[in-house]
Structure 1
Amino acid sequence: MTKPILVNDFLLLRNIVPLVDVRTPAEFEHGHVPGAFNLPLFSNEERVSVGTTYKQVGREEAILLGFDLTGSKWSGFIKEALIIAPDKKIGVHCWRGGMRSGAMAWALDLYGFDVYLIQGGYKKYRGWVHQQFEKTYQLQILGGMTGSGKTKLLQQLKAMGEQVIDLEDLAQHQGSSYGSMNKMVQPTQEQFENNLADKLKGLDNHQRIWVEDESLTIGKRSIPNSFWHQMRGAPMIDIKVNLQLRVNSLAAEYGSLDKNFLMESTEHIRKRLGPEQTKYAIEAIMEGRMRDFVKIVLVYYDKTYRTGLNKRNPEKVFSLELNDSAIANQAYHLLNFTVNTHITNG
C-alpha cells in the first residue's frame, strides 16, 4: 500500500519508519534528510542523460530511457529496501515527489511494502527546514574568550538534562583559523542547515536552550540569519576564566596538532595578527613552545571577542567568574547563577 504523506507528518514517524532518498548520490551528498538512506534510482551520469532527453526530445522518451536504465536494477532496489526496512514499512522521496519516487514506491508496493510517499519530496522538506529557523526559541547564550572551555561546559549541561545546541559540532569546525583541527570536514551549507533544523525539532522551544556564542560564520558555514539574529538578541552569560588556565588548555589541545597545519593557519590571520607577531608565533610553533604561541594568538582572538561583545545589548550580558577546574562544578555554578540572577529571554 502506498500512502501519500506530508513532510511534517512523516517526521513524526522517523523513529519507527526508515526513509529512503532515491535521488542521485551527488544530490544526496549535497543535502539530505538526516538519517535518510540513499537508494538512487539513477547514477549521477544517468540522471544527466534522462534530463537531457527530457529537454531535447520529450517527456515520453525520457521515461522510456529511464526504464531502460533501471530495468536490471529493480530486484537490487527491493533487496536493499528489505535490509533498510525488514518489516516492510518505508518512506520514499525524490526531489519534488515526482516520477523517481513514484516509480520506486510502485515497485516496493508491488512487493508488499507499506510505502509512505513524501508529498513534494526533498524540496518540500527544505521548506520545512527554513520554517524551523523562523520559530521563536528561548535561547541562552554561553559566551567567553577562546579557551574558556565553553564546548565542554555545554556537553556537561547536556549530560545534566539541559537542552543544548552545539553549533560547532554541527558545522564540524571550532570557529577559529585553527577550527578544523586538521581533521574535521565541514558538511555543505545545505546539510548544516538540515542538521540544525533536525536538532531544533527535537527540543522544546518553550524551554531554555543553551547555545555557544558564535559569529555569523563557523568556518565556511553560515548560521541561518533568522536564528542568528535570535542568538544576538538573547541574554548571554560571559564566563570569565583565568588566562593561565586558558593558555594551558589551548596549549594541550593544539600541542598534538601538525606543526605545518598550525603555521599555515597562523598565516591566514597574518594581516590581523601583524607581521611581527606572526613571525614570533610561527617560531614558537617550530620550537614547540605551545604556550608562547597560544599567548600571541590570544591577543588577537581576545580583541575580536571583545569587539563582538561590545555590539551586544549590555543589559543582556551577565558576567560570571568560573575558578573551579572541575567541569561538573562549573556547570552547577552556571545553572545556579542563571536562576539567582533571574536571567530570562524576554
Structure 2
Amino acid sequence: MSAIFFFVAGLALLVVGANALVSGASKLALSFGLSPLVVGLTVVAFGTSAPEMAVSTGAVLAGQGDVAVGNVIGSNIFNILVILGLSAVIVPLAVHVQVIRQEMPIMIGSALLFMAFSLDGVITFLEGAIMLALLVAYTAFLVIQARRAPAQAAADYEAELPAGRPQGWMGKWYVQVWFVIAGLMMLVQGAEWLVESAVTFARALGLSELIIGLTIVAAGTSLPEVAASLAAAFKGERDMAVGNVVGSCVFNILGCVGLGGLAAGIDGLPVATSVLNFDLWVMLAAFIACLPVFLSGREIARWEGGVFVGYYVAYVAYLILSAQEHSVLPAYSSVMLSFVLPITIITLVVVSIRQTKTQ
C-alpha cells in the first residue's frame, strides 16, 4: 500500500511541480529580458537535471563509476528520443533558428569532447575541471547574449505567450523565482518517489535487477525533464520544451561528468570499454539525428517524434537481449542495421530535401 501511495504522490508532484516550474520560468524570462529558449536552456534544463547530478555524484563517491557514466549517457539518449519525441507527438515542435545554428553544434561538440576524454578509459581530474569550466562559460555566454537582445527576447516571449506580461503578484520577479524553486523541489522529490515505488512494483512482479536498471532507474532521473517538457508543450511554450532537452544534454555531459571527474580525485572517473564502443556512439547518433529532423521545416513533426520514441524502444530491447545473450539478438541486430536504420535515414534525407526546395 505504501508503494501505491508514493507512486500516486510522486506522479502528482511531477505534474504540479512541472506546471509551477514552467509557469514561473516563462514569466521570469520576460522579467529579466530573457527569451523562453534561453530560460529553457539554463534555468529549466539545469534544474531538471538535478537528479542526474545527484545520482552521478553519489555513484562516484560510492565507488560506482560505471553507474555515474551510464546514468549520463542513458539520460541523454532518453532526453532526445523519448522526451523530444513525446513532446512532438503532443504538438509539432517549432525549432528556433538559434538551436540549429548554435545549440546543436555545442551539444554535439560536448559529446565529441566526452568521447575524446574517454579514449584512455578515464575522465581525469583535469578533464573534469575543463568540462565544468566550459559549462560555466556556456551559461554565461547564453545570458550575456540574451541580455544584449532584449527586443528579440520580448518578441519570442510574445510569440509563445500571447497573453502578454504577467500582472499583479505574479508580475513580481521574486514570486516567479519561488515558483521555479518550488517546482524544481517538487520535480526532484516526485521523481524519487515514483522511481522507488516503480522499482518495488517491478520486484514484486519478479523482474530482474538488470531490467529494472535498464528501464525504470535509467529513465527515472529524466522524469523531471519529461514533466517539464511535456508541460511546456501543452502550454504552447515550444521553445522552452526544446531548450530544456538540449540544455539538459549539455549539462549532463559537462556538468555531471565534469563533477564526477572532480569527485573521483586522482584516480579519475572510469569509462568502461563497452560504453566507449557502443553506448557513447548511440548517444552521438541520437544527437546527430536531430539535425535533419530540425532542418526539415525547422520543426519536429509528429511522425518524426514517433520515430524517435520507436528507436528508444529498439535501443532498450537491444540492451536487454544483449545482457541476456538471447538467441534472437543476431537476427534483431541484422534487421535494425540492414533494414530499419537505412530506411529511416533515407526518409529523413528525402523529407529534408523536399522541405528545402519548398522554402
Structure with bigger gyration radius: 1
TM-score tier by shorter-chain length is under 0.3
Q: Which has the higher contact order (CA 8 A, sep 6+)?
A: 2
State the TM-score, normalized to the length of structure 1.
0.24
State the TM-score, normalized to the length of structure 2.
0.23
Task: Tell me which protein shows more strand as a share of its residues.
Answer: 1
